[in-house]
Structure 1
Amino acid sequence: MNQRILIVDDDPGIVAAITPSLLAQGYEVAVAHDGDAALSFFAQFAPHLVLLDLVIPALPGIAVCQQIRQHSAIPIIVVSVKGGEGDIVAALDNGADDYLVKPFRLRELLARIRAVLRRGQTEQALIHCADLVIDTTLRLVLRQGQPVRLTPIEYAVLAELVVHRDKVVTARQIVQRVWGPQYVDSTDYVKGVIRRLRVKLEPDPSHPRYIVTEPHVGYRFNSAAGVSS
């Protein structure tokens, strides 16, 4: 079965430019021109990925993103003319998986789509690690059986570490995958999120056992935490 992509954009030029290439790549495509239609199409079309503009009629793109995230973890790539840092961070904080600023190169958009879909396919749905349970399908994290409230950005950083568990992930890699390639030098973003994750997840945040720092390199999710030899 072909993967389905929902385009949410009121610019007919953008829709006309994107759609033929998506169809040529074997995707099924549906188009919504405003926020209300986006939510209606989302329920009917059951897409595997959403390409979402922020500036659309009826319901803003951020609100659409928030409502989708209330009951679905499918990838959302924001494609918007708004390229300010605040706009990008707000979209990612509200559940977007990636952000592409208009105008963009079609090849880059297709590469982003492939990467996000591939990442979702390779993730293990349920990860157990000592007293932590991470359900990537439901975007749910449990500690000692109790839900842990994470922001979308905190979850995205944790998911990057978990997907590459027991391997070192550099701060630059995390920034590129979570915030976007234009932020590869803003590694201080990662330090703040790691600090908050440790407070929420670690038994002793000052001596972390799950999210380990590899000095001068990056971070590693230690899946063997709590396993005695």
Structure 2
Amino acid sequence: MEASTRILIVEDDLKIAALLKDYLIAAGYLVAHEVNGRVALEQIRKNLPDLILLDLMLPELDGISICQEVRKFSQVPIIILTAKVDEIDRLLGLETGADDYVCKPFSPREVVARTKVHLRRSSGKPLSTELPRFFIDREQLRILVDAHPLSLTPVEFRLLSEFIMHPERVFSRQQLLDFAHEDQRDINDRTVDSHIKNIRKKIQARLPGNECLHSVYGVGYRFELPL
């Protein structure tokens, strides 16, 4: 199925576009690339792709405008690629009709993983939130590693779910505190570190030799897909 799935990258940074194209082709997709926003919109109208990876800052027509126009005639999945990290920019992108966003710099593997999720959703197939070797079962609030459930607390489940959904993304301790806030209102940085330590042990018990959760000095933590 992937061999006939068409993805359009609309990105004026040629290095980023080439990198994404290589990863997506390796994943089995047909990939096209446009630099100019206005030309890209014309191409989308003529030959609607199965998914669009859309930069915000583009020549002639910006990504938000493209997204608005596309939503007038199609619900094709749109993932915004942006270097703008302000919350208002994120909300603006999603309110305009985008399905998701990825902040630069990003991991190409994360983009491929999100692409797969959105393509499965748009195809109407049952959607399980999954990445290689991991499965998030939100109905039973559990995470399986190679089909084996991890014994996680509610806070650990929430934290690990966010990591799995955003591989390679660096989360600050404050962001992790916010994820855990619902269950524990008196937590602090040390409590977060303790949860991360416990999650690491539980993953390594199932995947010996795989260091999935990495400390990022002075910032927080990053999740890396296991081999």
* TM bucket normalised to smaller: 0.5 to 0.7
Structure 1 unaligned spans of 5+: 125-166, 188-229
Q: Which runs of 5+ in 2 are unaligned?
A: 127-138, 142-157, 181-227
Q: Deviations over 1:135-187 (max 9, x none)?
A: xxxxxxxxxxxxxxxxxxxxxxxxxxxxxxxx699xx79xx7xxx89788489
1:53-202 aligned within 5 A: 53-122=55-124, 185=178
Q: Specify the alignment match of 1:14 in structure 2.
A: 16
Query: In the alignment, which residue of structure 1 is the partner of 2:41?
Result: 39
Once the two structures are superposed, what CA deviation does each residue of 1:4-44 show, in whole Å capped at 9, x if it has no partner?
00100111111111111111111111111121111111123
> Residue 4 of structure 1 contacts residue 27 of structure 1 at CA under 8 Å; is this kept in 2?
yes
Identify if the C-alpha distance between structure 1 residues 72 and 99 changes in structure 2 by more than 3 Å, giving closer, same or farther.
Answer: same
Deviation at 1:65, TM superposition (A): 0.2
Aligned to 1:196: none
**Partner in structure 1 of residue 146 of structure 2:** none
Cα contact 1:36–1:58 (8 A) shared by 2: yes
Match of 1:5 in 2: 7
| Cα distance between partner residues in 2 of 1:93 and 1:78 | 12
Aligned AA for 2:108? L
The normalised TM-score by structure 1 is 0.55
In structure 2, relative to structure 1, the CA distance for the partners of 1:109 and 1:36 (3 Å cut) is: same
* Cα drift, residue 45 of structure 1: 2.8
1:2–1:28 CA contact under 8 A, matched in 2? yes
Counterpart amino acid of residue 3 in structure 1: T
CA distance in 2, matches of 1:45, 1:31: 13
Amino acid aligned to 2:101:
Y
Q: CA deviation at 1:122?
A: 2.8
In 1, the alpha carbon distance for the partners of 2:14 and 2:46 equals 22
Q: 1:43 to 1:168 in 2, by over 3 A?
A: farther
C-alpha distance after superposition, 1:66-96 (max 9, x if no partner): 0000010010000111111111000000000
**What is the TM-score when the length of structure 2 is the normalising length?**
0.55
Whichever residue aligns with residue 107 of structure 2, its letter is R
Percent identity reads 41
CA contact (8 A) 1:30 1:45 kept: no
The CA RMSD over aligned residues, in Å, is 2.9
CA contact 1:6–1:51 (8 Å) conserved in 2: yes
User: Given that residues 18 and 106 in structure 1 are in contact (C-alpha distance below 8 angstroms), is that contact kept between their aligned partners in structure 2?
Assistant: yes
Aligned residues of 1:5 and 1:51 also touching (Cα < 8 A): yes
Q: Structure 2 CA distance, aligned partners of 1:123 and 1:90?
A: 28
Q: How many residue pairs get matched?
A: 142
